Chain A
Amino acid sequence: MSGLLRGLIVAVVVVVVLAAGSLAWLNWRVNRETVTPLQKLNSGGTAGRALAVLSPGLSAFPTDIMTAFEEGLIEKGWRIDHTTASSQATAHFPDYDLIVLTSPIYSGRVAPPLLAYIARSGDFGGKKVAVLLTAGGAPDDPISSTEALLAEHGAQLTAIHGYAVYQPNDPENKYQGSNTERAVQMARDAGRALADSLQ
């Protein structure tokens, strides 16, 4: 065997080992719940009260989207209780006018901590729910499956938005900046628009 071929095989083996190890670790990370205390935002807001539940995922993108959406609601006078999807997060909804669920999409489905949270919540009792999903490519299929899942749980879906990393979010070119920066601006506007529609 030539030295060049042997070197190539060694490089391939190193890459395969790195890829397998990375995927195993990422899979564990994706399934792991992040527990955070309930954070109260704009406590003086009187327009409405929302519970925002985030599955943070592996990058800052879902958090950025959720934060921008919350800012849109806060601008319109909403009070928000923010937490992460876990077995510790409240699933007691009577005090809230709106539930906001945010999650990244991995391998075509919503991140497991948010799915577990929805399952644990049981019946949403017709509560208004807004969903924000982040994906690598087109989020159409996960949007459809999430709509069906929330309908099964008795949620009244008021808005569902998908934001992609590697597919243009703003084909009409209404916003400025990179594709992900545009997604953040769109999420903020979506928060404002939903607040207006719920008044």
Chain B
Amino acid sequence: MTMSALHLLPHGLTALRLAFAPILYQLILSGRGDAAVVVLAIAMATDAVDGLLARRFGVASRTGAHFDFWVDFVLIEAVFTGFATTGTGPWAIPVLTALTFAFFIATVRLTPTMYDPVGRNIGGILMGSAFAVLALRDLMVAQAAFLVALGALFVTLGARTIFLARLWRTGLSS
């Protein structure tokens, strides 16, 4: 493999994860939990290494980070919309995920880093919850995983709202 091809590898892995989104949606709809868990595991592995490789090869960029962020969003939406469409998961998760990501984008200039620990790891928490649902295939575990996902979304939305409220109040008083 040439050096330039190696440099493309991180973006290629992120793009591969994007390609997995419709596949995962379809697998969940058709009840192929066994195949879906394998695809999701590969997607989570690419999420873990694409950023590392980008920094290793010196090709880390703001565009790459944004691409990674959007791909995570699309993948998570595809998985949880699949669960909701089959009636096994709550619609509140894809709706709250969209709201949370929109909130991050709208306020990113005010809070340039995802400062709260849950918010910084929200993608991993949501993917981990989906992985537990598909890997364990037990209805109670699935409901617990959905509650964890909902709880994490509420925690990060709440933390960001409080942070922004404090920022706004500080701005008013200064």
Cα A169 to Cα B142 with chains together (Å): 18
Indicate if B58 sits at the interface (CB-CB under 8 A): no
B137 touches A22 (CB 8 A): no
Cα A104 to Cα B88 with chains together (Å): 12
A22 touches B147 (CB 8 A): yes
B31 touches A7 (CB 8 A): no
The segment from B1-9, B59-67, B95-103, B117-125 found at the interface with A is: B117-125
Interface residues of B in 18-35 (CB under 8 A from A): 28-34
User: How many A-B residue pairs lie within 8 Å, measured between CB atoms?
Assistant: 120
Q: CB-CB < 8 A to A164: which residues of B? A: 31, 137
A22 touches B125 (CB 8 A): no
Cα A7 to Cα B85 with chains together (Å): 33
Q: CB-CB < 8 A to A165: which residues of B? A: 31, 33, 86, 88, 137, 139, 142
The segment from B43-51, B148-156, B166-174 found at the interface with A is: B148-156
Indicate if B40 sits at the interface (CB-CB under 8 A): no
Q: CB-CB < 8 A to B34: which residues of A? A: 166-167
Cα A58 to Cα B143 with chains together (Å): 8
Q: CB-CB < 8 A to B118: which residues of A? A: 10-11, 14
B31 touches A168 (CB 8 A): yes
Indicate if B105 sits at the interface (CB-CB under 8 A): no
Query: Total interface residues on B, using CB and 8 Å?
Result: 36
A178 touches B86 (CB 8 A): yes
Indicate if A19 sits at the interface (CB-CB under 8 A): yes
A166 touches B134 (CB 8 A): yes
Indicate if A78 sits at the interface (CB-CB under 8 A): no
Query: Total interface residues on A, using CB and 8 Å?
Result: 42
Cα A104 to Cα B139 with chains together (Å): 8
A167 touches B31 (CB 8 A): yes
Indicate if A148 sits at the interface (CB-CB under 8 A): no
Q: CB-CB < 8 A to B36: which residues of A? A: 166
Indicate if B92 sits at the interface (CB-CB under 8 A): no
Interface residues of B in 78-134 (CB under 8 A from A): 85-88, 117-118, 120-121, 124-125, 128, 133-134
A166 touches B87 (CB 8 A): no
A106 touches B31 (CB 8 A): no
User: With A11-B120, A167-B31, A169-B31 given, is the CB distance from A26 to B140 under 8 Å?
Assistant: yes
Interface residues of A (CB under 8 A from B): 6-11, 14-15, 18-19, 21-23, 25-27, 30, 57-61, 64, 104-108, 134-137, 164-169, 178-181
Interface residues of B (CB under 8 A from A): 28-34, 36, 85-88, 117-118, 120-121, 124-125, 128, 133-134, 136-145, 147-148, 151-152, 155
> Can you name 25 A-B residue pairings with CB atoms under 8 Å?
A7-B121, A9-B117, A10-B117, A10-B118, A15-B152, A18-B148, A18-B152, A22-B144, A22-B148, A26-B140, A57-B139, A58-B140, A58-B143, A61-B87, A106-B140, A108-B138, A136-B142, A164-B137, A165-B31, A166-B28, A167-B33, A168-B31, A178-B29, A178-B30, A181-B86
